[in-house]
Amino acid sequence: MAEELDPFKIAQEQLDEAAGIMKLDKQAHAILREPKRVLVMSIPVRMSNGRTQVFTGFRVRYNDARGPAKGGIRFHPEESLSTVKALSAWMTWKCSLADIPFGGGKGGVICDTKKMNEKDIEALSRAYVRALGTDIGPEVDIPAPDVYTNPQIMAWMLDEYINIVRKSQFGVITGKPVEVWGSAGRMDSTARGGMYVMREAAKLLRLNPKKATIAIQGFGNAGRFAYTLSKEVMGAKVVAISDSEGAVYDQAGLDMAKLDEAKKKTGSVGGYKSKSARSITNDELLELKVDILIPAAIENQVRADNADKVNCKMLLELANGPVTPEATKILFEKKILDLPDFLVNSGGVIGSHLEWVQNITGDYWDTDVFYAKLDKKITKSFNDTVATQKEFAARGEKINPRMAAYIIAVDRVAKAMKARGWY
């Protein structure tokens, strides 16, 4: 029987497993299996060539029992409602595990920004916000950048929202440029948070960071910062990295300037040149013998058909949903420390919360203060997850880190719903 790879069904399967372990109330479980609100929008945009193109957009508010929905916006040619629903569910658990006053949300548009000029991307960004109207807001639903969106796109969206409500509500969107009250430190907060988790997990494994070898799948925002920060925070050596077109392995360690040069000249990091470097595939990267493997690209990369070939001590899920449920079980049996996405990449939403707080209060901090707050929050989430694993182990129940994190997150959301009288 083929493994289920539908993102939302995977998210539901993970929830169902956690609900069974924690004996979750059936009413709470039923509420949490489905999103609270789903918007599917037809978005006509007058393009720079004078023709009107119709795009399909989504915004899902999964659960707001603990606060306004929070979640990024993806511009991707293969975006789907199932993916957006799954990501909004994972955002719910991410915000809950981090113990910040947000619920889960997510958005996306089916489009290919690689085939669009800047004017058309701006027109689409503004049209998306007009389609949403007051379904977003600093106390309702707060978007942020995600795949193929960036601070500039957030600035256009912010401007369009302000034009709609006629109020300077900078807290409606996070991940903005600092010129329009984005936060110092927000740009690398996803990867930096992941590095703080890596640091704590290395202590748990008694792994010497300065001798550690790392392979990173993905050369986008998260992957690039993971490369830089793994050296800065950990002192580790990155020996492999990939993008959507190829990958490179160099046991001597990779150089960022050469990676950028290869990307510019050949269109892929796979074109990297050095005496000891060799081009490999994305699949080969996942199977390299390294201390730490960091999937930082897209979902469903480690599956039942390749999990037994993964050869690392720690798998750090910087992407959303890179490891399937069946693969999670295989990795746990192999005693690979697989740290779940909604713990590892929660630095992004923690950073967004810090930006939102600064927008709401008008009190802005420097980078050192931002990083210290991020470090404290995500380190507590890691320690809570480890403590929950130990708690179950003491009762004779072995659970993996993902289930430990789920139990914490789901319990908090369920208690909030109960207190508010939802069941």
* N residues, the chain: 423
Confidence of residue 300 (pLDDT cuts 50, 70, 90): confident
Domains and CATH numbers, the chain: 36-180 (3.40.50.10860), 189-341 (3.40.50.720)
Please name the helix (run of DSSP H) or strand (run of DSSP E) that holds residue 328, with its range, or none.
helix 325-333
Q: Give the C-alpha distances (Å, rounded to integers) separating 320 from 72, 106, 146, 295, 346.
A: 12, 12, 11, 9, 10
Provide the β-strand partners of residue 371: none
Contact 406, 93 (CB under 8 A): yes
Measured CA to CA, the distance from residue 209 to residue 344 in angstroms comes to 17
Catalytic residue among 94, 106, 176, 313: 106
Strand 141-145 versus strand 213-217 pairing type: unpaired
Please answer whether residues 300 and 223 qualify as being in contact, where contact means their C-beta atoms are separated by less than 8 angstroms: no
Q: Which two tokens stand for residue 320?
A: 């959303």
Q: pLDDT (tens digit, 9 = 90+) per residue, 181-232? A: 999 998 899 999 999 999 999 999 999 988 899 999 999 888 999 999 988 8
Q: Does residue 292 register a pLDDT over 70?
A: yes
Helix (H, G, I), strand (E, B) or coil at 279: strand
Report residue 386's pLDDT band, with 50, 70 and 90 as the boundaries.
very high
Could you read off the pLDDT of 308-362 as tens digits, one per residue?
Answer: 999 999 999 999 889 999 999 999 999 999 999 999 999 999 999 999 999 999 9
CB-based contacts of 286-291 (< 8 A; 24+ apart in sequence):
286/215, 286/217, 286/310, 287/311, 288/215, 288/239, 288/240, 288/249, 288/312, 290/213, 290/214, 290/215, 290/239, 290/240, 291/207, 291/211, 291/212, 291/213, 291/214, 291/236
State pLDDT tens for residues 103-134.
Answer: 999 999 999 999 999 999 999 999 999 999 99
Res 222: pLDDT:
86
The per-residue pLDDT of the chain, averaged, comes to 95
**Under a CB-based contact definition with an 8 Å cutoff, are residues 305 and 323 in contact?**
no
Question: Is it the case that residue 87 has pLDDT exceeding 70?
Answer: yes
pLDDT tops 80 at residue 3: no
- C-alpha 374: how far from its chain's center? 15
How high is the pLDDT of residue 1?
Answer: 55
Residues whose CB is less than 8 angstroms from the CB of residue 192 and which lie 6 or more positions away in sequence, other chains included: 185, 225, 229, 233, 347, 371, 374
* pLDDT at residue 299, rounded to an integer: 81
pLDDT confidence tier of residue 235, bands split at 50, 70 and 90? confident
190 in helix, strand or coil? helix
Rg (CA), the chain: 21
pTM: 0.92
- Whether residue 4 is predicted with pLDDT greater than 80 in this model: the reply is no
Strands 337-339 vs 52-63: parallel, antiparallel or unpaired? unpaired
Q: Which residue, chain included where needed, has tokens 């978005």?
A: 43
Q: Is 265 one of the catalytic residues?
A: no
User: Residues 42-64: pLDDT tens digits?
Assistant: 999 999 999 999 999 999 999 99
